[in-house]
Amino acid sequence: MLAFWQDANLAWVLTGTLLLGISAAVVGGFAVLRQRALIGDVLAHAALPGIMVAFILFESKAPGLVLISALISSLLAYYLISWITRVSKIKNDAAMAIVLSLFFSIGMMALSYIQTLETPNKSGLDRLLFGQAAAITQHDVIWLSWVAIISLCFIAVVFHKLRLMSFDPQYAQTLGLNLKAYELSFALVLVLTIVIGLQIVGVVLMAAALLIPITIARFWSQSLKSLLVIAAMMSVISASISTQISLMIPHMPTGPWIVLILGLLFGLSWLIAPRIQGLRHV
Amino acid sequence: MNALTTHNLSAGYQANKVLQNISLALPQSQATAIIGPNGAGKSTLLKGLMNLLPQVSGEVSFFGEPLKKQYHNIAYVPQREEVDWDFPICVLDVVLMGRHGQLKFWQRPSKHDHQLALQSLDKVGMQAFAQRQISQLSGGQQQRVFIARALAQQAKLYLMDEPFAGVDIATEKAIVALFKQLKSNQQTLVCVHHDLNTLKDYFDWVIMINGGLVAYGPIQEVLTLDNLNKTYDGRLPILQNLGLVNSEGSN
């Protein structure tokens, strides 16, 4: 059996999935608690047209360019949703569904167009749809590390304010806090996390990496700090196992395995946690 | 100086505002109730004062200054139903939120902040619940936690949205005792209130609204049958206990 430490390249893959798992679990955890569970899904889909248009314009897939173009198009979607809900009677969920499909269609059109081009380095763009952890390089991991550090530091520093705004945004406003500035910075961190996740789990499964860990953690704890730690641990477990599986079995994709194992952990927690807590109360 | 002055305040969720042209002035150190039928805009008035709605026009000043300069002097208590009580947080952490208006974005609550939060919990008889998860609280306890959070702000003016709605008798008594204490400390209260039977016992002033302003002032002066009829469009709640029907009815 081959293990990850026997191969430098595989070590990068594992590091990449771990970093992504941890930051997605923590940042996504806050999104779920703000009852904005699906915003991550929308932003992931909305990143696609940005990346494709940037490729058409600059014929490049440099990580910096991908990051900035994805950032712009996801934030555009984010503000489009809040604009739609503000100026019309359309509710948030409908607005999110509209924006998600609209941006994704544009992204798919651009992707199809790119496939017809003669540009040499176009291969790999379609990977963003379903992700391909095995293709992670040292270069990517450096980017991933920076984004993970930035996201986690941001959450740690403004933890109290984020919690206040998640629990009772209206009250936060009556305290004179600048809600919009916090909203924007949280959206930025969320988009950063999503963009780096695209390469590993892809647009379609990104939401799972953001949402499932915190829902597992809710079976085990009541305090927000330990919830976030447990969520990160769940991500670590699923990232390690899935990397190992895709290594042992040829042609096994890592992304879907990450999600599947998170799903298994969810099922197990659902079964076990109430019994253990029941024992504690006796 | 007045605690609160509004001039032509209109507010609502859409361009067609629920609340129209409210102009009033409330003195300090009084307890004022906002009364009116369902949909009259009572909560909208409080939210309009705090600029929490998409559509707000007119002028509002607190202690002679605009809201922006007075955030630290005003504490708002929302209706209990407006938050998710399954949120993973303990009572003390909710009350500590009251201190965050004074803290910069990177600052943690200090020891002093913790003391203030515990004192506030004590004032509503909830200190024993400090470490309890909020999901385990009863409706009355939730209300007391929200009031404690407002107390932790150490404000001069308290705006409360139906503090007595759906609470048990113990909580109602605790809140009434607190009102007396706040008033004796020269603090000002404005509450949305539903129960006309307790109006005179709990409050000094009243604001009567029904979309627009019907009347406002000291209860003895403005709580007349005529004004009540205008406020409730003739569909008056039971008035026997108010002692108004006989005196006004004889006219």
Q: Say which CATH superfamily domain B4-249 falls into.
A: P-loop containing nucleotide triphosphate hydrolases (3.40.50.300)
The three-state DSSP-derived secondary structure of B104-139 is CCCCCCCHHHHHHHHHHHHHCCCHHHCCCEHHHCCH
- Range of weakest confidence among A99-113, A140-154, B79-93, B139-153: A140-154
Chain B residues close to A218, C-beta within 8 Å: 88
Which residue has better confidence, B116 or A251?
Answer: B116
Q: Residue A193 pLDDT more than 60?
A: yes
SS3 assignment, position B209: strand
pLDDT mean across residues, chain B: 90
Grade residue A120 by pLDDT with cuts at 50, 70 and 90: confident
Selected for mutation to probe chain A from B79, B84, B160 (highest A CB count within 10 Å) is: B84
**Per-residue pLDDT reduced to its tens digit, A227-270:** 999 999 999 999 999 988 888 888 888 888 999 999 999 999 99
A242: amino acid identity, one letter: S
Selected for mutation to probe chain A from B105, B106, B159 (highest A CB count within 10 Å) is: B105
Tokens of B71: 């955030």
- What does the pLDDT average to over A31-50? 88
A249, burial (CB in 10 Å: exposed 0-12, middle 13-18, buried 19+): exposed
A64: amino acid identity, one letter: G
Domains of chain A with CATH codes: 4-277 (1.10.3470.10)
Q: Which of A92-96, A251-255, B96-100 has the highest mean pLDDT?
A: B96-100
* Sequence ranges of the domains in chain B: 4-249
Predicted TM-score (pTM) of this structure? 0.87
Q: Does any CB of chain B come closer than 8 Å to the CB of residue A31?
A: no
Closest by Cβ to B108, choosing from A160, A172, A173: A160
A175, B78: Cβ pair inside 8 Å? no
Strands laid side by side in the B74-77 sheet: B74-77, B157-161, B188-192, B31-35, B205-210, B212-218
B87, A218: Cβ pair inside 8 Å? no
CA-CA distances (angstroms) from residue A170 to A176, B48, B53? 10, 12, 10
Grade residue A2 by pLDDT with cuts at 50, 70 and 90: low
Q: Does any CB of chain B come closer than 8 Å to the CB of residue A163?
A: yes
Selected for mutation to probe chain B from A35, A159, A160, A218 (highest B CB count within 10 Å) is: A160
Q: Is ipTM over 0.85?
A: yes
Q: Residue B240 pLDDT more than 60?
A: no
Chain B residues close to A164, C-beta within 8 Å: 97, 100
Q: Residue B249 pLDDT more than 50?
A: no
What integer pLDDT is reported at residue A281 of this predicted model?
58
Grade residue A271 by pLDDT with cuts at 50, 70 and 90: very high
Q: Which of A152, A164, A262, A244 is nearest to A207 (CA)?
A: A262
Closest by Cβ to B83, choosing from A167, A176, A224: A167
Q: Residue A130 pLDDT more than 70?
A: yes
pLDDT mean across residues, chain A: 88
